Amino acid sequence: MTKFNKTLLAAAVALASTQTFAAGFQLNSQSATGLGRAMAGDAIIADNASVLARNPAAMALFDKSAISVVGSYADVNVEVSDVMIGDDQYLGGIDNAAEAKLIPSFYYINPISDKWAFGIAAFSNYGTGTDLAPLNSGHDINTPIDLLGNTEVTTINFNASVSYRINDSLSLGLGIDAIKGMGTLTRQGNYTFSTPIGDLPADLDLVNIDADGWGFGAIFGLAYEINENNRIGLSYRKSPNMKASGDITFGQDINLGKIPLMVAENFDEIDIPLADIAQLAGFHQLTDKFAIHYTAQWTSWSNFDNIELTDGDKGSDSYILKHYNWDDSWFLSLGATYDINDKWTVRAGIAKDQGVVGEVSSLSIPDSDRMWYSAGFSYHINEKSSIDFGYTLVAGEKVHVIEDSLLTPSIGAYTESGANYYSLQYNYTF
């Protein structure tokens, strides 16, 4: 395989993979109550069992078993406009390059004694479907098919946790995460090669991946009750390196005349490092009816440094596809809750979500700083059961992206991403 061909394949796969785990597609939809307050205080409020997704130590605040079932709908919108190759070749744009997602979640907490509690949960931290392939169609020029294509990714986090109450104020928690990841990635299209014998068209299939895998991580938590009206929570989620395996093909065997332009290679695995997450949350009941809450969340996206292939059938035992220069990011939120009466509770929140892309930007990563605007309510059916609804509008900034392609001159475009989250939740206390 020539140096040009190997670099081309590496770039194509790396760009496909980055779209999978871009911060702009990270899902914060683990509960309807959380979406109704912009996740403010989610790691310590403990108003239902969904707190297990954020802080296992908060299970110590429960004196009865509790269950929560959640269904969230993420209507993600990615607009790509004014796409240009070089200074004069116009490709147009896409009004909506993303796919909506239905995201179910489940939580169960069981206090064993005054000291111990355990819980199990299933939820998702990542999920997206984006398709930039239409930008390759309807043109009589070569398009950067190494940058544009289809991506479909789903992850499910299975969690088992325990908590231990040390005293009336301090509780600790520990959980194990088993993360199942599934993805389909393609980068393909028509390309015309210039050769000594003339222009020769080819149908290139640069990337064709259908893979899945498991990763194992952990979460540590602390809950500190200052008094009955004020408490603080801390948690740290240690994320794994995801290993995906399956049908992983890069490149295509093409020979134009006697010139080998591209050689396909199959790999057994892709290794993708995920970011650790630390958060501080507070809850303060100011009156009998009114409370405020907040969250400061730090995500170590600088851990996402390399995408690596392993065990290639052409003799490549390990190959680093791309090095990233991502930044760590902060998510800061503030919310409030008001109990109208015994039946109805309303909540609202606002948050600032910091983008992760540093000096290296990509059309495949429509990432930027975002604002969250949230509102929701709870209806208490009786003493044991309640229904929650939450809505969040995520508004991202419009950014200009310039990216180098190995098939065409550099490509420039404007991208803008956002989402509407809708969530419905049922809670029951035994």
All structural domains of the chain with their residue ranges: 3-429
pLDDT at 202: 77
Quick one: which H or E segment has residue 12? helix 3-20
Q: Are 217 and 179 in contact (CB under 8 A)?
A: yes
**Per-residue pLDDT tens digits for 242-280:** 888 888 777 766 655 545 556 677 888 888 788 889 999
Burial 179-197 (b: 16+ CB within 10 A, else e): bbbbbbbbbbbebebeeee
Model confidence at 322, pLDDT cuts 50, 70, 90, reads: low
φ, ψ for residue 426 (rounded to 5)?
-120, 130
CATH, range 3-429? 2.40.160.60
**Per-residue pLDDT tens digits for 5-53:** 433 333 333 333 333 333 445 667 789 999 999 999 999 999 999 999 9
Task: Copy the structure tokens of residue 22.
Answer: 């871009």
pLDDT at 231: 98
Quick one: which H or E segment has residue 15? helix 3-20
**Per-residue pLDDT tens digits for 69-116:** 999 988 888 888 888 888 888 888 888 877 777 889 999 999 999 999
Most confident of 25-39, 89-103, 323-337, 377-391: 377-391
Q: Tell whether the model's pLDDT for residue 300 goes beyond 70.
A: yes
